[in-house]
Amino acid sequence: MPDGDIVHNRLRRFYQKPYKWLCEGKATSDECARVVLESLKKDLIQKGDLPLRLCQGMADVLAQAITTNDALGAGAYAALSMEFDGLVQQFDGRPDLKELALRAGKSVVHDLRYGHAQEIDISNASVIIVNRYMNAVYESEFKERVPLTSEHYAGVDQLTLSERIEEIEPDIKVGIGKFAKDAINKQSVAKLSLPRRSSRKVIDLDEDLLAG
């Protein structure tokens, strides 16, 4: 599909190709997941490193609070939230990107406060917050926008399209996890890389494995 083709006017240009592939239903789930991740990667790179810096800053604040307190009470969590707000205000940049990063940081604080601490590895708080920011970009720029049209490409119905998107969800999560680790390791989103393709061969049940 030429880059100029817009088949869904509520999706940005980055996401036209994966949307079209999902509608057509010709590509495999693996192929669709990969083209979505390629588009998300370009989007994250264009959005730049501001959200990454904010996520890292919030992770540092969180780590410091936990290091200096044996247990965090309700007041401490409220103070953390306010400190996150203050940190974000210190940065210049697009308000929408700052808001996405802030929500990611506050979601981790929420989970810690309300009993989901076992799911949060504080030593990797920066990766966790960046992961949540990137997932929010995927949700807001692609997944949540797909239904915002009266008629889908190739005549596919919304239920079928939603099922196809759910099928690729595990691969999307793996890819976003890889992006988050890359961003923290490289201190930038400029050189994100996709997970390696699976080398597993699909077994043909009719194949004679003893032949040859």
The pLDDT score that the predictor gives to residue 203 is 46
Domain ranges, ordered by start, for the chain: 13-48+149-186, 50-134
Decide: 18 and 32 in contact? Cβ < 8 Å. Answer: yes
Res. 210: pLDDT tops 70: no
What digits encode the pLDDT tens for the residues 68-82?
876 678 888 999 999
Please state the pTM of the whole predicted model: 0.90
**Average pLDDT over the chain, rounded to whole?**
90
Distance CA 131, CA 23 (A): 27
Q: Per-residue pLDDT for 201 more than 90? A: no
Structure tokens at 63: 């780590």
Q: What is the pLDDT of residues 72-118, one digit of tens each?
A: 788 889 999 999 999 999 999 999 999 999 999 999 999 988 876 66
Sign, Cα dihedral of 63, 57, 111, 171? negative
